[in-house]
């Protein structure tokens, strides 16, 4: 099971990223745990300066802007 965190303060892009990850995981039949990190000091611990950021299994894989479906699919 993939552990995925979306880093962001709650902007529309962050919410859309969460929704898109859920959709792609469901389409691929991949089990994930998805959490949202909105605490700024916690986000800074990952070194992400532009949101949304995405962390998969403890590794930052994306920062800034909504990732496309192909990119999300490659993480899964």
pLDDT (average), residues 1-28: 95
Give pTM, 2 decimals.
0.93
**Residue-range domain boundaries for the chain:** 2-75
Q: Give tens-digit pLDDT for 54-73.
A: 999 999 999 999 999 999 99
Task: State the pLDDT at residue 60.
Answer: 97
Question: Is 2-75 a domain of CATH 3.30.470.10?
Answer: no
User: Which residues, including other chains, have CB under 8 Å from residue 23's CB and lie 6 or more apart?
Assistant: none
Catalytic residues, by residue number, are 11, 14
Q: Return d(Cα 6, Cα 63) in angstroms, integer.
A: 10
Interval 21-39: pLDDT, tens:
999 999 999 999 999 999 9
pLDDT at 10: 84
Helix (H, G, I), strand (E, B) or coil at 11: coil
């Amino acid at each position: 099971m993939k552990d995925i965190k979306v880093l962001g303060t709650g902007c529309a892009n962050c919410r859309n990223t969460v929704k898109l990850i859920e959709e792609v995981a469901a389409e691929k039949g991949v089990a994930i745990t998805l959490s949202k990190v909105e605490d700024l000091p916690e986000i800074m611990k990952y070194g992400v300066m532009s949101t949304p950021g995405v962390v998969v299994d403890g590794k930052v894989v994306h920062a800034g802007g909504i990732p496309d479906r192909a990119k999300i699919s490659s993480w899964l």
